[in-house]
Amino acid sequence: MQSEDRPDAASPATQAQATPAQSVPDSVAPETVIAPPSKGSNWGGMTVFVLGAGSILLALLAGLGSGWGLWEFRFGFLLLMAAFGVAIASLLIGVGIGWWARRKGRVAPRPMRWIGMALGSALALWLLSFAYTARTVPAIHDISTDLADPPQFKSLALRADYLDQIPGAEDPEMRGMNPLQRWAAIHAKAYGDIRSVRIAMPLAEAVAKAERLAQLRGWSIAVSDPVEGRLEATDTTRFFRFKDDVVVRIRPTEDGSGSIVDMRSISRVGVSDLGVNAKRVRSFLADMAGTNPAG
C-alpha cells in the first residue's frame, strides 16, 4: 500500500536546509553589549599644557623683565603671583578633565595634560618654597658680623632706607626700641652664628685672599685696599638680577701675625632678603677661614 504524500512531512536534510539562520533575539538587553570607551577630543589636554607652559614663561618674563630694567621689581613680583595662579589653574583643570572623562566613560587626554600639570606643579612648588623661606627668616636685609660696629661702606653708597620697615615695632619685647636697636635684636636672635672670624694670615695677605674669593664668585669689585684692610663689591643674583653690596673689613690681631675679618652684606632693594645675605656671609667667611666643606 502506497503511502500518501503529506505536505508537512520532510526529510531531515530538507528540514535542515529549510531552517533559517538563527539571529540574536530582539529581547537581549542593550546593557549586555559593552562598547569600548571613546576617546575624547584633545582640546582639554592642550588647554592644560598651554596653562602649564604659560606659567613657566610668565615667571621667566617676570624675572628677565625686572633684571633688564623693563619694569620695577614689584611689578615682577606681581607677574610671579599671576604665574602661580596660572600654574594652580593648570592643576585644577587637569584633575577636573580626568575626573569628568572617567565619569563619562571616556579616555582623558593624557600626554599633553600630564606634561602641562607637571610644569604647573614644578612652578607652584618652586614659588611655594620661597614663601616658606620667607616665613622662616626675619624680614631684614642687612647682615653683619659686628652689630655694635658694622663695617661701613666708603666707595659704595649705603641705601638710604636700610633702617625703614624694620619689624618689631608692635612687639612688646621690643617696645621703645628704635629701628637700629630692633634690627640688632632681631639679627642676634636669627643669625647668632654670624660673627667675626680670626685667620692666621697677615693683613695684606688676608685682603688678597678676600679679593680672590670675590673674583671667583663673580662679584664686581669696587675697591680692594690692602693698607686699610677693606674690600667692597657687588653681587648680582641670577634670576631677578638683584644687586647686594658687600664690604669686608680686615684688621690685624694684637701681635700682627693674624687678622680679624668682619663682613657686611646688604640688599639694595626689598624688605626681606629670604636669608640670601646670611648665606653669602657664612659661605665667604668659611672660605676665608678654610672651614668651608665645599671650598
pLDDT tens figures, 258-285:
999 999 999 999 999 999 999 999 999 9
Looking at 115, 136, 157, which one is the last position of a domain? Answer: 136
Domain assignment present for 248 = yes
CB-side neighbour CA atoms (13 Å) of 180: 4
Indicate if 126 and 110 belong to the same structural domain. yes
Which pLDDT belongs to residue 145? 98
Spatial CA neighbour of 120 closest among 211, 23, 53: 53
Domain membership of residue 20 (yes or no) is: no
Q: Does 157 reside within a domain?
A: yes
Q: Is residue 7 part of a domain?
A: no
Q: Is residue 284 part of a domain?
A: yes
% of the chain surpassing 70 pLDDT: 84
Using an 8 Å Cβ cutoff, are 141 and 266 in contact?
yes
pLDDT at residue 293 tops 70: no
What would the grid cell of residue 120 be? 604647573
Residue 292: is its pLDDT beyond 80?
Answer: no
Q: Which of 56, 63, 57, 88 minimizes the C-alpha distance to 77? A: 63
**144/160 Cα distance (integer angstroms):** 17
User: How many domains, in total, are found in the chain?
Assistant: 2
Strands 259-267 and 197-199: antiparallel
Where among 85, 111, 136 does a domain terminate? 136
pTM of the model: 0.78
Q: Are residues 82 and 168 in the same domain?
A: no
DSSP state, residue 172: G
Question: In terms of domains, do 189 and 267 share one?
Answer: yes
Q: What is the pLDDT of residues 176-218, one digit of tens each?
A: 999 999 999 999 999 999 999 999 999 999 999 999 999 999 9
Residues 84 and 185 occupy one common structural domain: no
Question: Which of these ranges, 40-49, 78-87, 88-97, 140-149, has the smallest mean pLDDT?
Answer: 40-49
Q: Residue 13: what pLDDT? A: 45
Q: Alpha helix (H) ranges present in 191-268?
A: 203-216
pLDDT 10s digits, 86-132: 999 999 999 998 888 888 877 666 788 999 999 999 999 999 999 99
- H helices present in the chain, as ranges: 12-18, 43-67, 73-103, 111-136, 179-190, 203-216, 276-289
For strands 230-236 and 220-225, give the pairing: antiparallel
Q: Range of 102's domain?
A: 38-136
Q: Say yes or no: 284 and 147 in one domain.
A: yes
Q: Is residue 161 part of a domain?
A: yes
**Which stretch of DSSP H or E encloses residue 221?**
strand 220-225
pLDDT of the residue at 201:
95
